[in-house]
């Protein structure tokens, strides 16, 4: 079982894995989109909203601090949560709840050396998503 498949199974159960895969794909797309700030923009956005310690734990090589739905909502903002939900057919509450588990792990896996490297996000994300379909 691959990394993302394992996450999806834990968060939503196997029957909801397809929706979870779509959410992971949407998040990786968001993090790889330079026009919206990409991964570096996400880190800056969380830090600007007082969540720097949280997001930096996901980027660093140490343990990831857990996120609450309120922190995900604050860090991403209502518009981004709604946009992700619209893309994958989930309610904003379902997106927020799922991202408490997914976002820390996705950011962690996309920053394996403890540094944000924008140029490789999409290929790293593609590799993560490929693991779902093995």
Domain boundaries, the chain: 3-133
Question: Residue 101, Cβ neighbours under 10 Å: how many?
Answer: 18
Assigned token pair, 10 = 């834990």
* pTM score above 0.85: no
Bigger pLDDT: 58 or 4?
A: 58
- Domain spanning 3-133: which superfamily? YidB-like (1.10.10.690)
pLDDT at position 12 over 60: no
| Predicted confidence band of residue 11 (pLDDT cuts 50, 70, 90) | very low
| Predicted confidence band of residue 54 (pLDDT cuts 50, 70, 90) | very high
Question: Residue 109, Cβ neighbours under 10 Å: how many?
Answer: 17
Q: Taking residues 20-35, report their average pLDDT.
A: 86
């Amino acid at each position: 079982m691959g990394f993302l498949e394992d996450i999806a199974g834990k968060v939503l159960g196997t029957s909801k894995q397809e929706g979870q895969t779509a959410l992971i794909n949407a998040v990786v797309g968001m993090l790889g989109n330079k026009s919206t700030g990409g991964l570096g923009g996400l880190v800056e956005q969380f830090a600007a909203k007082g969540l720097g310690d949280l997001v930096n734990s996901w980027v660093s090589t140490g343990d990831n601090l857990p996120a609450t739905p309120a922190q995900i909502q604050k860090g991403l903002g209502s518009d981004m949560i709604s946009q992700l939900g619209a893309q994958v057919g989930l309610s904003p509450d379902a997106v927020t709840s799922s991202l408490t588990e997914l976002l820390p792990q996705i950011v962690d896996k996309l920053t394996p050396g403890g540094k944000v490297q924008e140029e490789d996000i999409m290929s790293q994300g593609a590799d993560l998503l490929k693991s779902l379909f093995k």
